[in-house]
Chains A and B, each alone.
Chain A
């Protein structure tokens, strides 16, 4: 927005709807790329805010994409947030000037109730009749004008997945007079008789508007028969997950090589162009070796997110949650925990936030506590580096050994999570009634635009991290690793005499029993802020500790492969399955649980498990004779 052209009026607009109504797609359509990207280390993460300017009125609309909610009588934290915002009772949000209730035109029977509930609040309301294209194609019939009359609010057809599908809605929003502002509203008190009365009202309206639903497509029923089948379903799920992890390793190779050689070329040309000295060392050893070695993992992270987004958009994820419900019930979790846990494979932070959809608070807490055991994408750089250095790329039929080891590491994390959940079930979660109650939305083709926007959001967040936290930490580390300079006549690599070297040697007493050398110990410290920094830190430490600093970003793999024993490599892999070092995760846990207790317990138990796992791994492999370089 141009600061010089002040908008006539700033209005806040809340987008609300039941889960799976296509609300977020419509939000993307309304606000395009003018969205505030959630910045994980900060606060106010769940907020998805965007803005657009009314074409006729020149008003500026601030649009809030509220979490999906079936009702204003909340049964989960997510729904409570949506209710509070809508009522104008949320601590940090302005009361909305206008509510836009998004309803799925292909399931008005389920969607209309919320619209009626919202209408009674007395706030200005527009109903966005989403997926009206699908409704038309599939032969849904109803009288829109009659619906408008019955609800008593404008009903606007929208197609969130088509360009221009939001235009009519934008115009309708712009036409709203919106003169008086309504502040806080008391929560509506609705008895069960009222709920039933509203449901009868919905059915009466459907009757009046002549709502006709075509039979469910036979293809979709057949698809469900396979996907939800007691035997075929779990097999298909295992196949999908296995493909996902193989793809992360094999598809990403080409773009990764490209980034790697780009980074190496940049470092090389800088080394040639600049005079030797502290500045050149800072740029090549600090910035390029540090941040560059993390940047390489962008393709893998994107592929992982692409899979998760496609599974989510297509409607498969809730079905997977159903398939896993029984298994997860054995350790006291709900099948609903599958979605937060799968997101945690990308990053524990959105995963922990997605746990808000779990109605039972103890169940939610257990899910939060085990979320960091899912191998997040920040650990992928570390795994990838160590696997490349220590595991030969032998192919076993169509599989390859490196992919299998990666799969085993992910699996270890999952099994450990299940074990922890089981302990929680037997101790703090006893007699907790378990609930599932999960809607399985109709299958849908994933929308390219939404996938692109979703991935772009990830790219921005990742590059932001590389550019801020990771870059600054690697620069700080470079300083620590460069100063003070070794005394004249000293032997060995200069880093040994620096602050970082001293710190690493001090920490080594703690980590020597699990086979970590002082370089690893140094790298673990900045890794506290973000796990992937450990790779950059190793890059920096080794660039500083070898005499020839050419092309270290690309050469880290053979370097550590040549200087660590297999036992050390495996021990570090085991460490990172549990690795408690991620301050942003702990901060989010603090915020989500509203207490210091859980983040502290989490850090303590993860550290203990990491140390124990590394100890066992190291001692075992040394005993098997792999303790030498």
Chain B
């Protein structure tokens, strides 16, 4: 499914959650960033989209700083990023089925 095509689906879909609740080692699929699907995005959200946080992209939380659990290290597609909690919180994800083995 495509979150952009059905913006109202974003809030309704039961499997959707904020990236910030994922524990390290969990993989998910990005469904959207903040209010981007409604056509309004903060500069921060815009930059996240530019960095590749677009619907359908695979994402994984690699680690979190301890103590405090902030910032996060996430790997989205082929890019590793360090993000603060308030940045991670704006990303909506859907828990992914286990990754297919690489060919």
Contacts and interface: CB of A to CB of B under 8 A. Distances in A.
A325 B50 contact: no
B95 interface: no
A9 to B, nearest CB: 36
A109 B81 CA distance: 14
Please classify how large the interface on chain B is, using the bins under 10, 10 to 19, 20 to 34, 35 or more: 35 or more
Chain A CB count within 10 A is highest, among B51, B67, B68, B102, for B51
Contact of A107 (B43, B47, B78, B84): B78
Contacts of A335: 71, 82
Given A192-B40, A224-B62, A326-B65, A436 B82 contact: yes
A400 interface: no
B49 A192 contact: yes
Interface in A73-118: 73, 75, 106-107, 109-110, 113
Contacts, number: 117
A200 B54 contact: yes
A191 B62 CA distance: 31
Contact of A230 (B43, B47, B65, B87): B65
Interface in A59-76: 70-71, 73, 75
Interface string A431-443: 0011111111110
A440 B83 CA distance: 10
Interface in A401-453: 433-442
A439 B87 contact: no
A113 B50 contact: yes
Contacts of A433: 86
A109 B52 contact: yes
A436 B40 contact: no
A436 B88 CA distance: 11
B47 A437 contact: yes
Contact of A439 (B39, B71, B80, B102): B80
A110 B52 CA distance: 6
Interface string B24-47: 000000000000100111011111
A225 B4 CA distance: 34
A322 interface: yes
Given A109-B52, A326-B65, A335-B82, A192 B46 contact: yes
Interface string A194-226: 011001100100000000011110000000110
B81 A438 contact: yes
A16 interface: no
Contact of A435 (B44, B49, B66): B44
Given A71-B47, A436-B83, 8 more contacts: A73-B43, A109-B78, A110-B78, A192-B45, A196-B49, A318-B82, A325-B65, A437-B51
Interface of B: 4, 36, 39-41, 43-52, 54, 56, 62-68, 70-71, 73, 77-84, 86-87, 102
9 contacts: A113-B50, A192-B45, A196-B36, A224-B73, A321-B82, A325-B84, A326-B65, A433-B86, A440-B81
